[in-house]
Amino acid sequence: MRRESEKKAVVLLSGGIDSATCLAYARSKGYECHALSFDYGQRHRIELKCAKKIARRFQAIEHLVVRLDLRKWGGSALTSGKIKVPKDGLKPGIPATYVPARNMVFLSVACAFAEARGINEIFIGVNSLDYSGYPDCRPQFVRSFERTANLGTKAGIEKGKIRIRAPLQQMEKWQIVKLALSLGVEIAETSSCYDPAPDGSPCGRCDSCEIRKEALRKAVPQR
Amino acid sequence: MRRESEKKAVVLLSGGIDSATCLAYARSKGYECHALSFDYGQRHRIELKCAKKIARRFQAIEHLVVRLDLRKWGGSALTSGKIKVPKDGLKPGIPATYVPARNMVFLSVACAFAEARGINEIFIGVNSLDYSGYPDCRPQFVRSFERTANLGTKAGIEKGKIRIRAPLQQMEKWQIVKLALSLGVEIAETSSCYDPAPDGSPCGRCDSCEIRKEALRKAVPQR
């Protein structure tokens, strides 16, 4: 069996509850964690400040912030000034906050980073229950990405074992909050809002704020 | 049948012979082409100047250059000062010029760009015969990537038809050169060298230079 200290992972860290929980979870399982965030022109850049604090709290070995301007082409309420963040409740279908191919881009860059570091495991905090509107949060996407990564990389060919870990995949948001609290995540240190004020305070009305509030109510009933 | 003018594609354009041929081919098939290049910290940045000329020659509707610093982690002779470009002939196995997960990253970003533009087809100039050492040039990778893209994007879910086109996949390099010449590619306007001099002139001894010279000899015997 591998010694705990030999377990290494790249963890995608946005600065929200999910990715913070994912990092905390990987740490609790004994992984040495290399955190990766993206400065992609997102409306909610405050999350990068959060990511920095979270990486420090959970002793990431390193925390890389990669610049990649997805605002060049927009196509999402999070990366274009022309599309508004919806604030009238969750609707069926893929929401306007979907960012074209975002998780595929993030996972691909994570694979590049992991491969260069000799790391075979990548953690991503996707969950498909609350966010069923996002195609790139679904298990069938994650599994297919893993297969592709093992076909298109040296690590995959020579070792055949790039693993995409999505430990929150089947959890509901309130269960994630419970797990987060049990692992020492400071909820106040995370940011979920899609449309925060310039000082970083949440709007309280976007889908992500609504889901977060509801999850906190359910996970911590005494609040 | 779709009118010619309605056919649109994103074309990955590095500035080498293959991607130039790919763009010329897509244009010859009546596609409106949106060219995409990457400034990724490559040793051979001269290729970006070539890409610009090629995009203009083949009347790309637009030519985006995306910055994404793969030198942050290196791991390749093309993105790290610590690894030398091999100049002692082609060897079996994956060469030191393999850039971790590069084509997966490029294709993912191309998908994001295409989706935001409402485009469903992406052209990439990979070929697997001469460059069999690169895992991300193989047909099984390209097919798997296409499946993944259709699972992880709104375009894929709602329209189910993101297509990754690799028209050079089964061609030998000399055949690509012949096709390039027949389509009006100016070979001198392309750059293939992995380790060019500061003025952009090719080293003449890296794998890519060797393959190019051999292909030119075979394609244009009178030279």
Token pair of B33, please? Answer: 């082409």
Q: Is A36 on the interface with B (CB under 8 A)?
A: no
The shortest C-alpha distance from A222 to chain B (Å) reads 38
CA distances for A24 relative to A17, A168, B168, angstroms: 10, 12, 45
CA distances for B6 relative to A198, B31, B206, angstroms: 42, 8, 41
Query: What pLDDT, on the 0 to 100 scale, is given for residue A132?
Result: 64
Query: What pLDDT, on the 0 to 100 scale, is given for residue A184?
Result: 98
Q: Is the pLDDT of residue B160 over 90?
A: no
Geometric angle at alpha carbon A214, from A213 and A217, rounded to 5°: 85
In chain B, residues with a C-beta closer than 8 Å to the C-beta of A42 are none
Of the residues B63, B103, B154, the best mutation for testing chain A's interface (the one with the most A CB atoms within 10 Å of its CB) is B154
Contacting residues for B53 by C-beta, under 8 A, at least 6 apart: B189
Query: What pLDDT, on the 0 to 100 scale, is given for residue A131?
Result: 63
Q: Which residue of B has its CA nearest to A40?
A: B68
Chain mean position to CA B163 = 16
Q: Which of A64, A135, A153 sits opposite B135 (nearest CB)?
A: A153
- Nearest by Cα to B104 from B86, B126, B87, B79: B126
Render pLDDT for B46-63 as a digit per residue (tens, 0 to 9).
999 999 999 999 999 999
Q: Is the pLDDT of residue A4 over 70?
A: no
User: Could you tell me how many CB contacts below 8 A there are between chain A and chain B?
Assistant: 158
**Higher per-residue pLDDT: B166 or B44:** B166
Can you give the pTM of this predicted structure?
0.95
CA atoms of A87 and A94, how far apart (whole Å): 15
Q: Percent of chain B scored above 90 by pLDDT? A: 86
Q: Is the pLDDT of residue B187 over 80?
A: yes
Q: Which CATH code, of 3.50.30.30, 3.40.50.10420, 3.30.70.270, 3.40.50.620, is assigned to A4-87+94-219?
A: 3.40.50.620
Query: What pLDDT, on the 0 to 100 scale, is given for residue B131?
Result: 63
Average pLDDT over every residue of B119-134: 87
Identity of the residue numbered B62: E
Q: Is A69 on the interface with B (CB under 8 A)?
A: yes
Lowest mean pLDDT among A3-12, A112-121, B29-38: A3-12
Contacting residues for A185 by C-beta, under 8 A, at least 6 apart: A17, A20, A21, A24, A54
Q: Is the pLDDT of residue B28 over 70?
A: yes
Q: Which residue of B has its CA nearest to A64?
A: B72
Q: Is the pLDDT of residue A18 over 70?
A: yes
Token pair of A188, please? Answer: 């106040």
Local structure of A88: helix, strand or coil: coil
Determine the topology of domain B4-219 in CATH: Rossmann fold (3.40.50)
**What residues of chain B, 180 to 219, have a C-beta less than 8 Å from chain A?**
none
CA distances for B205 relative to A118, B85, B129, B209, B221, angstroms: 29, 10, 20, 6, 21
Q: Is A153 on the interface with B (CB under 8 A)?
A: yes
A152–B158 CB contact, under 8 Å:
no
Q: Is the pLDDT of residue B81 over 70?
A: yes
Render pLDDT for A190-204 as a digit per residue (tens, 0 to 9).
999 999 999 999 999
Query: What pLDDT, on the 0 to 100 scale, is given for residue A187?
Result: 96
Quick count: other Cβ atoms within 10 Å of Cβ B5?
Answer: 9
A108–B101 CB contact, under 8 Å:
yes
Q: Which of B94, B113, B149 sits opposite A154 (nearest CB)?
A: B94
Average pLDDT over every residue of A88-93: 88
B69–A66 CB contact, under 8 Å:
yes
Query: What pLDDT, on the 0 to 100 scale, is given for residue A130?
Result: 63
Render pLDDT for A115-144 as a digit per residue (tens, 0 to 9).
999 999 999 999 987 666 899 999 999 999
Are B125 and B110 spatial neighbours (Cβ–Cβ below 8 Å)? no
The shortest C-alpha distance from A112 to chain B (Å) reads 5
Query: What pLDDT, on the 0 to 100 scale, is given for residue B91?
Result: 87
In chain A, residues with a C-beta closer than 8 Å to the C-beta of B67 are 67-69
Token pair of B115, please? Answer: 């989706």
pLDDT band at A44 (very low <50, low <70, confident <90, very high): confident
Which stretch of DSSP H or E encloses residue B140?
Answer: helix B139-152
A145–B136 CB contact, under 8 Å:
no
Calculate the average pLDDT of chain B.
Answer: 93
Q: Which residue of A has its CA nearest to B143?
A: A148
Q: Is the pLDDT of residue A6 over 80?
A: no
Q: Is the pLDDT of residue B83 over 80?
A: yes
Contacting residues for A90 by C-beta, under 8 A, at least 6 apart: A133, A207, A210, A211
Q: DSSP letter for A74, please.
A: -
In chain A, residues with a C-beta closer than 8 Å to the C-beta of B108 are 101, 104-105, 107-108
What are residue A8's phi and psi, to 5 degrees?
-125, 145
A75–B148 CB contact, under 8 Å:
no
Are B114 and B122 spatial neighbours (Cβ–Cβ below 8 Å)? yes
The shortest C-alpha distance from A10 to chain B (Å) reads 13
Query: What pLDDT, on the 0 to 100 scale, is given for residue A129?
Result: 74
Q: Is the pLDDT of residue B129 over 80?
A: no
Render pLDDT for B148-159 as a digit per residue (tens, 0 to 9).
999 999 988 887
**What residues of chain B, 116 to 135, have a C-beta less than 8 Å from chain A?**
116-117, 135
Q: Is the pLDDT of residue A53 over 90?
A: yes
